[in-house]
Amino acid sequence: MLFYLILFLLFLYFKIARVHKRDEKASNKVTIQHVFVFLGFLSTYTYGVLNIQWYFILTASLLFFIIAALIITSFQLGIFVDGKPLFGMSRVYKLLPILTLVIISLSAIIWL
């Protein structure tokens, strides 16, 4: 079950990263974060290929890709209260380091 949680967080992270790249210029810190998350991605998919049937991985990946895209699109469109966004993309960008730490930690735990 942990595999699927990590898979969802990976798709969410990469969707946020793609929007962040389009909106703002990436610094070296962000690039290093992307590299670490990509290593977590490789680790997670390696675990999945070795332990889970491919059709479960493919189905979950497609589903999580769609869900992550819809979540980020809803943040981009925003929910406005009195003309101010309730939860905007700037807050999502501030959560990227925490999300990176969670993904890397869970990717390491999955192998234990």
pLDDT of 31-87, one tens digit each? 899 999 999 999 999 999 999 999 999 999 999 999 999 988 888 887 777 777 777
Rounded to an integer, the average pLDDT of 15-19 is 90
- What single-letter DSSP state applies at residue 50? H
The pTM score is 0.88
Boundaries of domain holding 95: 2-109
Q: Residue 85 phi/psi, 5° resolution?
A: -70, 140
Q: What share of the chain is helix, strand, coil (3-state, %, to 5)?
A: 80, 5, 15
Q: How many CB atoms lie within 10 A of CB 34?
A: 18
Residue 8 has pLDDT above 90, yes or no: yes
Q: Residue 6 phi/psi, 5° resolution?
A: -65, -40
How many structural domains comprise the chain? 1
